[in-house]
A and B are shown apart, each in its own frame.
Chain A
Amino acid sequence: MGYLDGFLVTLKQHRVFGGERVTTPYSGGRVFKRGKKIEGRDEKIDKPERLHGRHVLNRYDDGMEKCIGCELCAGVCPAKCIHVRGADNDPQNPTSPGERFGFVYEINYLRCIHCDLCVEACPTEAITESKLFEFSFTSRSDAVYTKRELLVGDDGKPRQLPWEDWREGEDAHTSGWMRATAPGGDADFVGQVGWSAELGYGVRAAEEAAD
């Protein structure tokens, strides 16, 4: 199929040309009427349970950072939007358990495709995705989230940036993440979904495998 042929398919699907649109316009939960926002109806619609939003870097209960700076997330990232540098923990005042911690951690959201491979690659469940994707920015430097923006606060809640539209209770849904391999690495559970536990939000039971 040539380049133009592909474009033709898209056009044919459009209402104007008699097709059925395959996507719905998304408004971020706000309800509009003729281009104007209706007051009092400013709420987000429910998102799928497995939606991948913007990332957070988690901490352990004692406040230690989970990130060990291993760069596996950066290595697996298909969009090459993650930059990590490790460093030696100060034994007297460690940032994370063990010898190594994530000294630099940056995600460029102009590139991120929210594929969640970083989350799957993470050996310590340090990086997870929240449900938040109502965020936009007007400068490139805002789009590059550093450790300062990504790391959750001492309460385990994500930091809310001015251009992010967080709603009541949404910050509690940062821990629910899943991956295709069981967290324990048990080969018997390969292919079955497992849920992690972090910051006291509880563990969900492993989902049954489809077959």
Chain B
Amino acid sequence: MSSYRWAAGYIDDGDRPKIVTSRFHLEDSYTLERYLATGGYQALRHALARTPAEVHDEVRGATVLGRGGAGFPAGTKWGLMPADKYPRYLVVNGDESEPGTYKDRLLMELDPHQLIEGSLIAAYAVGLAQVFLYIRGEMPLAHERVATALNEAYVAGYVGKNILGTDFSVDIVLHWGAGAYVVGEETALIESLEGKRGEPRLKPPYFPAAIGLYGQPTIVNNVETLSNLPWIMANGAAEYVRIGTETSPGTRMVAVSGHVERPGVFEIVNGTTTFRDLIYGDDFCRGIRNGNQLKAFVPGGGSAPWFTAEQLDLPFEGKLVGAAGSMLGSGAIMVMDHTTDIPAAALTLTRFYAHESCGQCTPCREGGTWLERVLQRVVDGRGTSADLAQMKEIGTSICPGEFPHASSSRHGLDATPFPYKMTTICFVGPSAYAPVHSALTLFPEEFAARVRDRVQIPVTAVQ
């Protein structure tokens, strides 16, 4: 296993409550033996001892915000399924590909049984007939660990027919992706699972909870969301909401990458930890590398508008971050220090979204690539000031009206809060514009200089 570090990226020091990462420090955390030895599948027994409705109420009571990006409470989402329409399906979204985000992979690699148990609890609570565990294709280790775990769990009687001797029966089918970021969007995930091109479906009129996989009611939950359920069933919703804040209970996993001293994945208390804690705290990233200055950071995955040092004291809490002009998304922070070439950094993200556009709707397909090309020209030192205006024009073709951005006292700007309007079906199109807009708004001088001086700077700048 020499090319893998078994707990790559996960950092646990400091005295923080652990809900989903409680076994990460154990070398054999992914085995059934270890899982059982550390209280595994007890939550399932608790759940089966209660009625499905009681289990559902418990989850609803815990207000587990969806960890995929949109932050919609899981219990509420389950309740949106139309009554009396069966079969219903659960699709576990393990297609983690958002730039900067990296938690589901660890959860699948290091604690697959926790995810399986969480899925079973969900299946029991709302009467799901079948669970599809969709794992991103480029994660063979996660696939191997989950497959092994499922095989063990089937043999041990935790999955399949008459689970633990009850009449609760459900299959969990492992499904692989094959490399497409947009499939992480829940309707695209469903299309992909139906064997089609992973193109998002338009919602409204129909949401997956009503018409999803094969036209049946379908719940799509993120890996981290489901991984919280065993703890909640074992310890109770009351205990869960005691952690974190009222609007954002529990913990969540955050990956901090980029120009920090100690990049890593942390399980943090929801809603209270500030960005300053995360970037500068001793328990977390311990400051900017080489003692450099912070220039900007992306607070919630590649799609999120950027923050600067002015927003450092905001807590990691959805509503507050939204009001400040960005979003938390899937829990990823990317930090840029003062040596970073902002246009080039924005290009790496815009290129990502242009490349990952599914191509079905025009603004994203054409606009994303157009943005990338113009930005590339500017970065290459061949741009003109008309190009800068042009990028904003393309942006308004994707997102008409005001686009959210952070406040900037340097430029005398107030924040424009989330969300934006968009002409696309899903968020990939606006995401291609988000970094461009942030960079142009918060660092116009860098673009002006680039257009004026026509110079080229490598993206990493000073090492």
Q: Do A's and B's CB atoms come within 8 Å in the complex?
A: no
